[in-house]
Structure 1
Amino acid sequence: MADRKNPEPAPRHSNAIPPPSFPTHNSPRTWFLTQALSPLAIRLIRLLLGHGDYVVACLPPQELDNEAMSAEFRELADECRNPASGRYKEREGWKDRIRGIRCDGRFMGQCVAAVAEAVQFFGRIDVVLCCSSVAIVGAVEEMGGSGGGGRPSNPLAHNLVRDQFETVFFSQVNMIKAALPQLRKQRTGHIMVLSSIGGHIGTPGMPIYTSATWALEGYCDSLAYEIAPFNIKVTLVQPQTEVQMLTNKIIFAPAMPEYEAATAASAVAAAQAAAQAESQGGMAVAEVSDIPAPSVRDMLMRVVNAYGDSSVSSLSSPPAASAASASPQPPPNSSGALSSGSPSTSTSAAAAAANAAAAAAAPTVRYPRLPPQALDRLVLETVHALTAMGGHENPPTRHIVGFEASSAVQDKLKTVSEELEDFVEASLSVDIFDSELQKEAREGRAAQVAAAAAAAEAAQRAAAEAE
């Protein structure tokens, strides 16, 4: 009993991966995953099947046909089909509790058909996990549009904005809308949305990804109030941003030379600061903040380039002048002037220049291939959080995964709370109406100032008397 009354305090942060846990329930639950090809989804499915739950795995056709993205799922499917062929005997019965459905969430009709097939096959849906994601990397200007600053319009990059919202926002909304009639009919259900702390904190170099994440979270915040009378719960799960980025497709927008130059300057400054610190035998705390942080593009490029078959040599979009100078020029004639050359030579040179410009303007698509051990360390904390909350009778409306993510969000919220006092002052200064609220705010602030002055005076009097 003494041990129970005085337990040893748990450490605030530990690098150990927590063990998986599931909420207690009397019968297996049916999980509906909107995208089941990511390493995170694969590891979650293994835990769910091992626990005895049922899984509906939606497989986007355009990603299922990509061998790099679907390799782990195909391996899992083989284990489920042939459990007795070697070391997978514990997988016996898995193939009867998993249902793969080709479904592209961008099309509402396919979402409705997938939900109907899931209900027909398993009878109900208990947990809808929205986990579709793609990370589009690029500054606002690098997304194309009208080509500001005299740059030509780039329709290929401009479509990235729409693609980002189609995957992160609209496909999830379609899945939720397709599942809601069934969940209302059951009078129970749990919608879980795998987001990231990007829903709180903006990320330079990923403005469109952040925008889509904020839109999805705002949608879910409103949705939770609307469907609460039907006993349907909503939970936003927010791991570190890299959990979603490094386990799904990454699209690099063509880089502008201006931004690459700024990034290169930051990298040189960081290298010089590090060299100076090493020569001095350390670095003062005040100097740490002066070192520029590497860009998101650079960090993701390092991860992608760790493997030869997925490396990216250059993402910069050459200016028109350099493209023109790279094209072959006809030789000068005897008078020193350039000869016009044959029409075929000019045509082929123009075609080569056009092809080079088109290749430079096209986005680069890659899929990170991390070692299994690195993937486990990256995603298992999030996976176990999903298993612990999925289908819980009283789940949280928002869950931030991990100490680092919670600390980052806490710092952001602390900054916002400190700014609120300035917001109040600014609002009162421009309030043209002599309202009761304004009067109460001013009186309350005056009372606080008077109380602080009285306390200071009392402290001084007590100190004088003590002397």
Structure 2
Amino acid sequence: MADQDAPSSPPAATHNSPRTWLLTAALSPLAVRLIRLLLAHGDNVVACLPPHEIDHEERGAEFRELIGECKSGRSDREGWRDRIRGIRCDGRTMAGCGAAVAEAVEVFGRIDILLCCKSESVVGTVEELSTTPVARNLVRDQFESVFFSQVNFIKAALPVLRAQHTGHIMVLTSIGGHIATPGLSMYSAATWGLEGFCDSLAYEVAPFNIKVTIVQPNQEIQTLTNRLIFAPPIPAYENAFEAGPNVRDIFAKVLNTDPETAVPPLPSPSPSKSPGHGHTESVASMDSDIDMNLDPDPARGEIFQQYPKLPPGAADRLVAETVHALTAIGGHENPPARHIVGGEGAIAVREKLKTVSEELEDFVDASLAVDIFESELKDEAREGEKGPVEETSN
């Protein structure tokens, strides 16, 4: 007989009732706008604040403004200060994630939705990320920020969600989980890895009534609202993408719209280098020994990192659709396993999947040409059986 005095789990929050959210990174323009919407809805929010970001004057400015509103006593912000808790944690250690989860449960009694929304983008070709030990470390840092930190939060939250026998894990990635981009190889790899992890996780936690949803907005929503880290460029790649601007140039133009975030201009190539390194030369005209050189020119800059500073109106428009998608899906009784935000992204992914489908059809046709069918194997077996009998009879 069950103990009548044993404490029971608090009832699950319905989609329209107050829910408790834990955001793994709460300082991006998207996260701040999402928190405002959640607090207005009456939800509770545990906001994890990466120390290196909250201490950054510009990066933490919007969140500090939000906290000021919560404490302001404004009638339209009534009760907000009691429904938000900020915790310094970046997800790089299991101990830190466990402490954040424990504090969330202590303050609000439960966790209904874990939103994994930490992101940053390392910009550089594969060779540019192989030139120096510091550049090679960017690969590890990319996986730490996008993959391992979010896995740590998920693992820390799972015991709580299982005990509740309810919960919703939402992972904010991008359509980069379907479509790779030149110059963002490590970002694509880490994103694909996280999505593969979540696909397996969804099957494992389904018996405990825990839902998993991957939300994929357009790639620029994550890249332009979080830190951009540029590896030192290799001159050979300056004119390699003649069909259009490369990712490095696109992001640099965005940063250059504000003098405070502008990318330092690259000096002219070293005079000791061949003219093949000039801006007007094509890759085809370069000497082969220069093409194979992986060493960046020391005069052409080191690792550069910056948070894009978008005008408030532009940031609002950029993230609005994703913010509303997250609030609509979060805590839903029957959420989708994957949601692509926006028609443009859905079309891009559909075209990519169509290409993959055609490749699979070609693969099947090629495989059938070399397949050994079961009937052939039986014929060979029968012939093998007859052989020894005929030899003994002779």
Aligned to 1:300: 251
Root-mean-square deviation (CA, aligned residues, Å) is: 2.2
Aligned to 1:460: none
Does the CA-based 8 Å contact 2:46-2:85 persist in structure 1? yes
2:153 alignment partner AA: M
Aligned to 2:86: 100
1:268-307 alignment to 2 at 5 Å? 292-307=243-258
The DSSP-based 3-state class of the residue aligned with 1:67 is coil
Aligned to 1:399: 339
The DSSP-based 3-state class of the residue aligned with 2:228 is strand
Aligned partners of 1:192, 1:373: CA distance in 2, in Å? 26
Does the CA-based 8 Å contact 1:304-1:368 persist in structure 2? yes
Pair 185,259 (structure 1): closer, same or farther in 2 beyond 3 Å: same
Does the CA-based 8 Å contact 1:315-1:364 persist in structure 2? no
Pair 26,409 (structure 1): closer, same or farther in 2 beyond 3 Å: closer
1:65-214 alignment to 2 at 5 Å? 65-83=55-73, 88-144=74-130, 147=131, 154-214=132-192
Q: Alignment identity in percent?
A: 65
Spell out, residue by residue over 1:57-84, the C-alpha distance to the aligned partner (whole angstroms, 9 max, x if none).
000001111111111001001111123x
1:12-27 alignment to 2 at 5 Å? 25=15, 27=17
Pick from 39, 43, 49: which aligns with 2:29? 39
Aligned partners of 1:188, 1:438: CA distance in 2, in Å? 52
Pick from 15, 22, 29: which aligns with 2:19? 29
Structure 1 residue runs of 5 or longer lacking an equivalent are 1-22, 148-153, 267-291, 323-355, 440-467
* Count of residue pairs the alignment pairs up: 345
Aligned to 1:370: 310
Spell out, residue by residue over 1:31-80, the C-alpha distance to the aligned partner (whole angstroms, 9 max, x if none).
00000000000000000000000000000001111111111001001111
Pair 417,49 (structure 1): closer, same or farther in 2 beyond 3 Å: same
Does the CA-based 8 Å contact 2:174-2:215 persist in structure 1? yes
Aligned to 2:293: none
The DSSP-based 3-state class of the residue aligned with 1:176 is helix
The DSSP-based 3-state class of the residue aligned with 1:236 is strand
Pair 358,180 (structure 1): closer, same or farther in 2 beyond 3 Å: farther
TM-score of the superposed pair, with normalisation by structure 1: 0.71
Pair 49,253 (structure 1): closer, same or farther in 2 beyond 3 Å: same
TM-score of the superposed pair, with normalisation by structure 2: 0.83
The DSSP-based 3-state class of the residue aligned with 2:59 is helix
Aligned partners of 2:184, 2:125: CA distance in 1, in Å? 6
Aligned partners of 2:259, 2:328: CA distance in 1, in Å? 38
Aligned to 1:428: 368
Give the number of the structure whose residues are more often helix, by fraction.
Answer: 1
1:107 CA drift (Å): 1.0
Greater gyration radius: 1
Aligned partners of 2:85, 2:19: CA distance in 1, in Å? 14
1:310 alignment partner AA: T
2:105 alignment partner AA: V
2:107 alignment partner AA: F
Does the CA-based 8 Å contact 1:57-1:99 persist in structure 2? yes
Pick from 353, 371, 376: which aligns with 1:413? 353
Aligned to 2:3: none
Structure 2 residue runs of 5 or longer lacking an equivalent are 1-12, 274-295, 379-394
